[in-house]
Amino acid sequence: MNTPHIQRRIVITGVILCCLTVLLGVKLFIKQANFNSYNRKILHQSVRKIRIPARRGRIYSADQKVVADNRMIFNLLLYIHEIRRPSRAKTISAVEHSIIEMSNLLRRENKLTSKDIQRHLIQSPGLPLKIFSDLNEKERAIVNDYIADRQGWALEVDAVRTYPLKDWAPHLIGYTRKGDPAAAGDRKEFSYYISDYEGKAGLEKAFDSINMAEYPTLRGLRGKPGYSLVQVDNMGYVRHSLVQEISPLHGNHLLLNLDYNAQKKAQDILKYYNGAFVLVDADNGDVIAMASSPGYDLNKFSPKLEESYYKKLLANPEKPLIPKAVSGTYTPGSIIKVLNGLAILENGKDAKEEVFCDGSTHIGNAKINCTSHRYGGHLYVDIFKALEKSCNDYFIEEGLKLGREKICEFMRAAGFGKAPALEIDCAAGILPTINNKQRFYKTSRWTEFDTGLISIGQGMITISPLQAALYCAAIANGGSVYRPHLVRAVLDQQGNPLFTRRVVVDSRINAGRENFETVRQGMFQVVNSPTGSGRNAKLDDYTIYGKTGTAEIGSKKNRRQNTWFIAFVRHKDKTYAASLIIEEGQSGGSTCAPLMAEFFSDFLGAKD
């Protein structure tokens, strides 16, 4: 027997066994060191993150009436994991049987198909399946009695957007829709995504979220979602344990500048007309009323759009879906004469210097009639009489002396040609520039006839009713064109202000105080003189300053008139400025002036 050889083999074997033991120990150490990492992976495979939507903030009128709210409804849910069967097909069959039984019990139509159930099992097995929505009190009593001894069923309280005042300021408030999970920016953060309501129009959209550099953490109406972590099995069904829940941060509220009664009255005076009305605080730009007619019922848009109602709105030739007060642009007609009067005075015209009006003005081979052309003209008129009687001859003759550039300069200063920086989208209108002449008429040639037209608010000039109201406010306050605001403040859930609108002057009409007083005197005579074009707006209790306007539109075969009235009135410590347009009216004096008087009489009430 070779003893040294055997001993050598024993030593080698021992070394190998020692190495294997050391290697095993190292492996076990590494496994132990990575335990937390493996544990997280296991947990990730068996835990699902479910999004919990935040409750949307309310919208209040200036006088604290709720104009957008959340209505609590009861939905009937089925937790499929509690009635699951050995196979998916048998589970779907069991779900269908349960739904049919409940449908018969409640006498409600079942709209869920086997494909809907299958899709839910594939996409969201960890969430309950919604069977019926918005159960009434009687249905809830039936369900509570039925599910007492049955598995899987549950009643869930949900919040849907509602508009208690129905057709109150619909173009401004806007509406919401349930968000599309596939398009959501935070979709990848959650295993199961429950959408919340998203603003789709108006203030609901503008303040859905708030992106302001000075307020980076300020939440909008939508708020911030929470989440829950639940444990699931290998099929994705919730097992039993709630790992964690973080509550959502509900949305903030909006406090508007819109006054309930002012808005209601504005809509009332437009009830039988196609047009728009705007009322602003002349000293800060706050929008107190803004109506477009016809309107619509916001509750027909929420929580789900009624398709037949929407088709009816689309087919309406009066275009009720368009917010005419901010998106409608119209030829201003004679309401522009107050502004052009300022331009004339600022460029050296004496207020008392007269111009002879014979009823029409000839420019080359063309002729522009005055409102007095049927009875031989206004004869000799100064600027006071020219405004009072809305004399075209006066403003055309003086406008031709001024020229397009100076007229355009004052129009630009009044905020025309630029969209007002309101919280919702606004139209800019059209300024009478050479570029616009080229754009719309394919020629850059500007004629004296063009200048004559814009001198009386015709031709290539359009503005919105909001721009008209802000311009009228500037006449009242001495030249400041304020940035308009629908929203006064953003409030937290307890009603504390988080952000308050700032008063901003966006532009100024630069004219002397005396010249402003001159055109204001002319506006006084428009309403308060027995021969004023706007005398139908006169009130005994309040002094209204106004200007009528009648703008011809359309071809000669289809000639129509849009009628205007702008006005301001001082009451206590406030000055209010307003604009009113009625499409296809008779005249500013006969159609609009009485409506303006009706509005202010009701809004201001009897004089103290």
3-state secondary structure 486-524: CEEEEECCCCCEEEECCCCEEEECCCCHHHHHHHHHHHH
Does any domain span residue 214?
Answer: yes
Q: Do 357 and 410 fall within a single domain?
A: yes
The number of C-alpha atoms within 13 Å of 260 and in the hemisphere containing its C-beta is 14
Q: Domain range holding 504?
A: 260-604
3-state secondary structure 382-394: CHHHHHHHCCHHH
Does any domain span residue 44?
Answer: no
User: Which of 1-5, 102-106, 495-499, 546-550 shows the lowest per-residue confidence on average (mean pLDDT)?
Assistant: 1-5
Closest CA to 232 of 37, 44, 87: 44
- In the numeric block, which tokens belong to residue 375? 């009875």
User: Which of 186-195, 246-255, 308-317, 405-414 shows the lowest per-residue confidence on average (mean pLDDT)?
Assistant: 186-195
Q: What does each C-alpha distance from 149 to 143, 152, 292 come to in angstroms?
A: 11, 10, 55
Q: Is the pLDDT of residue 22 over 90?
A: no
Look at residues 221, 238, 256 and tell me which one is the last residue of a structural domain: 256
Q: Do 146 and 247 fall within a single domain?
A: yes
Amino acid at site 562: N
Number of residues that make up the chain = 608
CATH number of the domain that residue 188 is part of: 3.90.1310.10
* DSSP three-state, residue 131: strand
Q: Do 233 and 326 fall within a single domain?
A: no
Q: Do 222 and 364 fall within a single domain?
A: no
3-state secondary structure 593-605: HHHHHHHHHHHHC
Does any domain span residue 298?
Answer: yes
Encode pLDDT of 224-263 as tens digits: 888 877 776 655 555 555 667 888 899 999 999 999 999 9
Q: Is the pLDDT of residue 291 over 90?
A: yes
How far is residue 242's CA from residue 230's CA, in Å, rounded to a whole number?
5
How far is residue 482's CA from residue 216's CA, in Å, rounded to a whole number?
26
Does any domain span residue 37?
Answer: no
How sure is the predictor about 268, in pLDDT bands with cuts at 50, 70 and 90?
very high
Query: Got the DSSP string for 215-267?
Result: BTT---SS-B-EEEEEEE-TTS-EEEEEEEEE--BPPPEEEES--HHHHHHHH
How sure is the predictor about 75, in pLDDT bands with cuts at 50, 70 and 90?
confident
Axis-axis angle for helices 465-477, 513-528 (nearest 10) = 120
CA angle 419, 285, 329 (to 5 degrees): 35
Does any domain span residue 5?
Answer: no
Q: Do 270 and 146 fall within a single domain?
A: no
How far is residue 391's CA from residue 369's CA, in Å, rounded to a whole number?
10
Q: Do 248 and 274 fall within a single domain?
A: no
How far is residue 14's CA from residue 402's CA, in Å, rounded to a whole number?
113
* DSSP three-state, residue 119: helix
Q: How many separate domains does the chain show?
A: 2
**pLDDT (0 to 100) of residue 122:** 84
Q: Do 252 and 265 fall within a single domain?
A: no
* DSSP three-state, residue 242: strand
User: Which of 42-51, 113-122, 368-377, 521-530 shows the lowest per-residue confidence on average (mean pLDDT)?
Assistant: 42-51
Q: Is the pLDDT of residue 43 over 50?
A: no
How sure is the predictor about 52, in pLDDT bands with cuts at 50, 70 and 90?
confident
Q: Do 250 and 279 fall within a single domain?
A: no
* DSSP three-state, residue 323: coil
Does any domain span residue 494?
Answer: yes
Residues 341/411, Cβ–Cβ less than 8 Å: no
How far is residue 557's CA from residue 189's CA, in Å, rounded to a whole number?
62
CATH number of the domain that residue 569 is part of: 3.40.710.10
Query: Got the DSSP string for 522-535?
Result: HHHHHHHSTT-TTG
Which of 97-101, 129-133, 190-194, 355-359 has the highest mean predicted lDDT (pLDDT)? 355-359
> Taking the CA atoms of the chain, what radius of gyration do you get in angstroms?
35
Look at residues 256, 274, 301 and tell me which one is the last residue of a structural domain: 256
332: cis peptide before it, omega within 30°? no
Phi, psi of 456, deg, nearest 5? -115, 20
Q: Do 171 and 319 fall within a single domain?
A: no
Q: 3-state SS of the chain: helix, strand, coil percent to 5?
A: 40, 25, 35
**pLDDT (0 to 100) of residue 481:** 98
How far is residue 23's CA from residue 17's CA, in Å, rounded to a whole number?
10
Closest CA to 288 of 488, 476, 474, 505: 488
How sure is the predictor about 608, in pLDDT bands with cuts at 50, 70 and 90?
low
**pLDDT (0 to 100) of residue 72:** 87
Look at residues 223, 256, 289 and tell me which one is the last residue of a structural domain: 256
Q: Do 491 and 366 fall within a single domain?
A: yes
- In the numeric block, which tokens belong to residue 449? 């006839």
Stated as kind and residue range, the H or E segment containing 98 is helix 88-106
Q: Do 236 and 270 fall within a single domain?
A: no
CA angle 196, 198, 204 (to 5 degrees): 135
How sure is the predictor about 552, in pLDDT bands with cuts at 50, 70 and 90?
confident
Strands, DSSP E only, in 306-435? 355-357, 360-363, 366-369, 379-381
Q: Do 107 and 163 fall within a single domain?
A: yes
- Mean per-residue pLDDT, 427-447: 93
How sure is the predictor about 38, in pLDDT bands with cuts at 50, 70 and 90?
very low
CB neighbours (10 Å) of residue 221? Answer: 30
Does any domain span residue 452?
Answer: yes
User: Which of 184-193, 327-336, 493-502 shows the lowest per-residue confidence on average (mean pLDDT)?
Assistant: 184-193
Where do the H-state alpha helices sit in 415-512?
A: 434-441, 448-455, 465-477
Does any domain span residue 313?
Answer: yes
- Mean per-residue pLDDT, 261-284: 97
**pLDDT (0 to 100) of residue 453:** 96
How far is residue 460's CA from residue 468's CA, in Å, rounded to a whole number?
16
Going by C-beta distance under 8 Å and a sequence separation of 6 or more, which residues neighbour residue 319?
Answer: none
- In the numeric block, which tokens belong to residue 131? 């069977």
